[in-house]
Amino acid sequence: MKTIKYISLALTLAFALHSCEGILDMEPQMDLSDKTALNSTLGLQSAIIGAYDRLQGGDLYGGRIWVAGDMLADNVKISGEQNTVYEELQMLNITMTADNRITTSFWSNAYFTINLVNSVIMEIPNVEDSEIEANRDRIEGEALFIRALLYIDMLRYIGNPITGEGVPYLKEPSGIEHKPARDDMETCYQNIIADLTRAASLLPSSNQDRATKWAAKALLARVYFYHGDYELSAEACTEVINSSGTQLEEQIINNYSSTKSKEMIFGIMSTETDASCGTLNGYYR
Domain at 80, CATH number: 1.25.40.390
278 near 270, Cβ under 8 Å? no
Tell me the average pLDDT across 87-94: 80
Q: Does residue 148 sit within a domain?
A: yes
Beta carbons within 8 Å of 92's beta carbon, 6+ residues apart: 71, 74, 76, 77, 78
Tell me if 278 is assigned to some domain: no
Give the number of domains in the chain.
Answer: 1
Whether residue 8 is contained in a domain is answered as: no
- Amino acid, single-letter form, for residue 131: E
Q: What's the pLDDT at 23?
A: 44
Q: Residues 177-194: pLDDT tens digits?
A: 888 999 999 999 999 999
Q: Do residues 200 and 213 lie in contact, with contact meaning Cβ atoms separated by under 8 Å?
A: yes
**Count of residues for the chain?**
285
Contact 68, 91 (CB under 8 A): yes
Helix, strand or coil, per DSSP, at residue 247: coil
CA–CA separation, 87 and 60 (whole Å): 16
| Alpha-carbon gap, residue 128 to 121, rounded angstroms | 14
Tell me, yes or no, whether 276 lies in a domain: no
- Domain membership of residue 274 (yes or no) is no
Any idea what DSSP says for residue 16? H
Q: Could you tell me if residue 27 is inside a domain?
A: no
Q: Is residue 26 part of a domain?
A: no
Domain that holds residue 178: 36-257
Residue 72 banded pLDDT, cuts 50, 70, 90: confident
The residue-averaged pLDDT of 81-93 equals: 72
Residue 263 placed within a domain: no
Closest CA to 169 of 196, 198, 191, 142: 191
